[in-house]
A and B are shown apart, each in its own frame.
Chain A
Amino acid sequence: MEYFIQQLINGISVGSIYALIALGYTMVYGIIKLINFAHGDVFMVGSFIGLYSAKYLASAGLPPILVLLLSLMISMTISALLGISIERLAYKPLRKSTRIAALITAIGVSFLLEYTGVLILGPQAKGFPDIMDKKQYHLFGSSIQVESNQIMILLTTIILMLVLQYIVRYTRTGKAMRAVSFDVEAARLMGINVDRTISATFAIGSALAAAAGVIFGMTYNSVDPLMGVMPGLKAFVAAVLGGIGSIPGALVGGLLLGTVETEISSLGFSSWRDGVAFAVLILILIFKPSGLFGKNVREKV
């Protein structure tokens, strides 16, 4: 039992990374119906910006908590700008063209980010600095261990989710986003600036992915230019699992996928882990195509 709970805790911390990336997929898909394959690579870029800013800030002698917060903010800001420019340069000219053209462009952008990363940073993995000292706590005096890192990850995720929920529910941009995702043309007629709303969506999604990138670096201590591929695909699986377009769905999907994966690994099938993630995806698609929280949209004739 304790072993199971231990794995559950580990699973939740992996799952929150998936959840943060999945939010970006879900929001972008909800608004322009595009699987933004480059999203996993924005996560990678975010991680590298986090790495360099943390190194720089730590060498300037700032206290660890400030280093963490500042490098998170720097990474999120730059990645948000990156997300906006990707949308402006690559996706906006394609808004009227076919879905397949947009999807191929997204994959093209993904390759561009990956291999520009390889060109600039080299293909080898780089060590991520220890921003905070890792401490281990025992839960309620039992043998279940919780790392300070895991607590920090969960806290960051929860705070970011609450901020996101606030933005989507109560701000003008959030309302515009919901309107655009409901019906682009009607939103435009009501005077909503659709282009700006789409940019905002990309900015928020990319910032969340960047935060996930920094957290990922702190958890696994190693980052490389191709690291975005698998987590990106998995996060997409998580988004579909929860019902794409639904924000709580992305959270639940991410946590669920992270937990399932960790349990599979702990049972000794770690090389099958990725396969299980995709198998879960296909089962969900077959039996509940709109995901756990998705709405069933009726096809228009």
Chain B
Amino acid sequence: MNKLNKKFWLGIVAAFAFYGIVKVLLTTGVLSDVNQSMLLLIGVNIMLAVSLNLITGITGQFSIGHAGFMSVGAYTSAILTLDYNVPFVPAILAGGLLAAVFGVLIGMPTLRLNGDYLAIATLGFGEIIRIIMLNTEYVGGASGLSGIPAKTTWTMLFLFTLISVVLIHNFIRSTHGRACIAIRENEIAAEAMGINTTRYKIIAFTIGALFAGMAGGLSAHTFYVITPGSFNFLKSFEIIVMVVLGGLGSTAGAIVGAVFVTLLYTFLREFPEWRMIIYSIVLILMMIFRPSGLLGVSKFSFGKFGKKEAKAHDAIKTSSTP
């Protein structure tokens, strides 16, 4: 227990150290505007990846409509700041909360489905949200909302990202998180052990949606403009790729995946016609040769501290396979 706490605080200190270094670099002007917007994008993507990891990696519910939650948060917070002059932080929180409400609404009927059917249902919900936005004049229809004040600063983004990572990670380590993992490993066995599987699935869905909504709000206040097209299937898929590339079920993996995909995307922007081709080839090769992701199953840890745990995990795995 003590060791865990030490690791946790070490992580927090490391994160704040990173924040400080970037802050100094930003104020001294070493990092350009392009770099800054990339950093903001990385932060938003980390929130999205970590929140989807809770749904897909931890609870084992395959959702490919995460961008739908993101768009609910983005539109809500943008409208609140544009039309009602709500301050930045409450607007982001409100966006997250409304997305969470959608998470409950979508979760209740569909979580009875499993596997591929759930995936397709969430895809359908994501598309329905997009089409509703597309056909609603109040939110600008196809041209979307523009002139959103760019209020997302590095400090704000850092705090939101850190808080969401810490909260989700602590949730995963709690009794409730263990219940979610049990559902992922074997739903029927979990049910037999007295875990209310539906309830936990809805909880995971709601928390995931909450943070995705906040990430959407933050991204809306970074890039001035949101359109329904920016929250399509492609975006949902990008988030899944982050989670899977990093290693399903690992918070650190989701973070690494988010950073990796964002950097890859930004780098490939210089080759627009080759971008998606290279991206998809990387994806296919990755799935064939390292399907467990960059970090595999290793736990959220810093440096050497995590090694023992990972080894123990491997030992369990190898001993259980005949």
**Interface residues of A, Cβ cutoff 8 Å to B:** 29, 33, 35, 90, 93-94, 97-105, 107-112, 114-116, 118-119, 233, 236-237, 240, 271-272, 274-275, 278-279, 281-282, 285-286, 289, 299, 301
Contact A105 B113 (CB under 8 A): no
Contact A301 B188 (CB under 8 A): yes
Given contacts A104-B241, A289-B117, contact A278 B283 (CB under 8 A): no
Query: Would you call B58 an interface residue if the criterion is a C-beta within 8 Å of the partner chain's C-beta atoms?
Result: no
Closest to A33 in B: B116
**Given B120, B135, B240, which contacts A104 in the complex, CB threshold below 8 Å?**
B240
Tell me which of B23-31, B149-157, B195-203, B284-292 binds A: B284-292
Q: How far is the CB of A39 from chain B (nearest CB, A)?
A: 14
Report the bound CA distance from A246 to B212 in whole Å.
Answer: 37
Given contacts A112-B280, A115-B277, A301-B188, contact A105 B120 (CB under 8 A): no
A-B CB contact pairs (8 Å), 27 listed: A33-B116, A90-B284, A100-B56, A100-B244, A101-B291, A103-B62, A103-B116, A104-B244, A107-B283, A108-B281, A109-B280, A111-B279, A112-B277, A116-B277, A233-B123, A237-B120, A275-B132, A275-B135, A278-B125, A278-B128, A285-B110, A285-B121, A286-B113, A289-B112, A289-B113, A299-B188, A301-B188
**Given B113, B134, B288, B291, which contacts A90 in the complex, CB threshold below 8 Å?**
B288
**Given B120, B127, B244, B281, which contacts A35 in the complex, CB threshold below 8 Å?**
B120
**Given A115, A278, A286, which contacts B110 in the complex, CB threshold below 8 Å?**
A286
Contact A282 B62 (CB under 8 A): no
* Interface bracket on B: 35 or more
Contact B117 A271 (CB under 8 A): no
Residues of B within 8 A of A112 (CB): 277, 280-281, 284
Chain B interface, >50% SS class: helix
Contact A101 B287 (CB under 8 A): yes
Report the bound CA distance from A282 to B188 in whole Å.
Answer: 24
Contact A285 B113 (CB under 8 A): yes
Query: Would you call B115 an interface residue if the criterion is a C-beta within 8 Å of the partner chain's C-beta atoms?
Result: yes
Contact B116 A35 (CB under 8 A): yes
Contact B121 A93 (CB under 8 A): no
Report the bound CA distance from A81 to B130 in whole Å.
Answer: 36
Given contacts A100-B244, A115-B280, contact A274 B127 (CB under 8 A): yes
Q: How far is the CB of A102 from chain B (nearest CB, A)?
A: 8
Contact B115 A104 (CB under 8 A): no
Apart from the given pairs A102-B287, A108-B280, 9 other A-B contacts in the complex at a CB distance below 8 Å: A93-B288, A94-B288, A94-B291, A103-B119, A104-B241, A110-B280, A111-B276, A275-B131, A286-B113
**Given B56, B121, B131, B284, which contacts A105 in the complex, CB threshold below 8 Å?**
B284
Residues of B within 8 A of A35 (CB): 116, 119-120
Residues of A within 8 A of B120 (CB): 35, 236-237, 240, 281, 285
Residues of B within 8 A of A237 (CB): 120, 124
Residues of B within 8 A of A118 (CB): 273, 276
Report the bound CA distance from A162 to B172 in whole Å.
Answer: 53
Report the bound CA distance from A118 to B273 in whole Å.
Answer: 8
Q: Chain B 216-244 against A: per-residue CB contact (8 Å), 1 yes, 0 no?
A: 00000000000000000100010011001
Q: Which 8 A-B pairs have the closest CB atoms?
A: A278-B124, A275-B131, A115-B276, A111-B280, A108-B283, A101-B291, A112-B280, A108-B284
Report the bound CA distance from A118 to B116 in whole Å.
Answer: 29
Residues of B within 8 A of A114 (CB): 276
Residues of B within 8 A of A299 (CB): 188
Q: How far is the CB of A285 from chain B (nearest CB, A)?
A: 5
Report the bound CA distance from A119 to B274 in whole Å.
Answer: 8
